[in-house]
Amino acid sequence: QSVLTQPPSVSGAPGQRVTISCTGSSSNIGAGYDVHWYQQLPGTAPKLLIYGNSNRPSGVPDRFSGSKSGTSASLAISGLQAEDEADYYCQSYDSSLSGPYVFGTGTKVTVL
Amino acid sequence: EVQLVESGGGLVKPGGSLRLSCAASGFTFSSYSMNWVRQAPGKGLEWVSSISSSSSYIYYADSVKGRFTISRDNAKNSLYLQMNSLRAEDTAVYYCARGRIGSGWYYFDYWGQGTLVTVSS
């Protein structure tokens, strides 16, 4: 089971702003390790969305933003669009014995 | 353009073996760490294994340790995952992903399309 907890689902109307939380612990986010975010559109492979807590790879719209504080991180989507409907996963490094790279439980974003 | 193409998935009986391959192109393969990440049907992402650029460092998730072996051939720009003693819970789409590493961070910047492994009698 994942050590990074996300809400199962969030929803919003087109144009609205939604946020997704990613809650970790002192062995991962709280230890200072960066958080990264991935978007998985239906039936496709995951795609890197945010790296290093708040950096967007080339080609990712600035509607997507990330932040980190304490043992948690957040992904915000502003100006929600229909094509943003997807699953979103956070990911970080974990210093516990179970394995170094951990993903969040995933959040389904629904555009109403 | 970075491309990662997995192959080798299929249907296998419990206790059986399978070898996955990932063909890389569009970047200097020997300069990057590589990974396998899986996703069971309808479930989330699970990191499986990582291998450093020169194969010096190898890591496994507890769920596959002792049963799976990751390897790479830099001359062939290829990544492999040998899966033995397969169980029903190993059923998943297996993705090959390129790793980016730094001080306090490691992320997966490019992913393949995935290959489905089904373990069933």
How does pLDDT run across A35-47, given as a tens digit for each residue? 999 999 999 999 9
Determine the Cα–Cα distance for residues B68 and B55; give it in Å rounded to an integer: 15
Q: Do A33 and B105 touch (CB under 8 A)?
A: yes
Residue-level pLDDT at A1 = 63
Q: Do A36 and B107 touch (CB under 8 A)?
A: yes
Q: Does the structure show a pLDDT above 80 at B56?
A: yes
Q: Does the structure show a pLDDT above 80 at A2?
A: no
Which residues, 6+ apart, have CB-to-CB distance to B15 below 8 Å? B85, B86
Q: Is B32 on the interface with A (CB under 8 A)?
A: no
Q: Hey, what are B9's tokens?
A: 């998935």
Residues B47, B111 contacting (CB under 8 angstroms): no
Q: Is B27 on the interface with A (CB under 8 A)?
A: no
